[in-house]
Amino acid sequence: MDDAAIAEERIDRLDAFARGMARAGDHERAREAVRLARRIAQRHRCGVPRRFERFTCDACDAYLIPGRNARVRLREGSHVVVRCDCGATARYPYRD
């Protein structure tokens, strides 16, 4: 198993850990897991999964849970708007 595969597996595990911690209400441990996963991805030059990218805040590293610490809105025919509690906004395109 090469280094990139190990890094991707570790990122997947950190994603699951951060999701679980955020749902349990331990937001600081979730933030640390998000930061660590991003650092691993940078060090090994591999990307993070799309789900991880879409459900984390770039500004404060929070793991976003719609309805609890993130507001999700759909703009007609063009994109999804996700706003974190810290005020940061992310927009993602979608297709029909």
- List, as one string, the DSSP characters of 29-96: HHHHHHHHHHHHHHHHT-PPPHHHHHTB-TTT-PBP-BTTTEEEEEETTTEEEEEETTS-EEEEE---
Task: Indicate the number of domains in the chain.
Answer: 1
Average pLDDT over residues 3-8: 93
Look up the pTM and report it.
0.91
What residues make up the domain containing 55?
A: 3-93
HSE-up of residue 90 (Cα within 13 Å, Cβ side): 18
In this structure, the strands spanning 89-93 and 70-75 are unpaired
pLDDT tens profile 34-93: 999 999 999 999 999 999 999 999 999 999 999 999 999 999 889 999 999 999 999 999
How far from each other are the two terminal CA atoms of the chain, in whole angstroms? Answer: 39
Whole-angstrom distance, CA of residue 26 vs CA of residue 40: 22
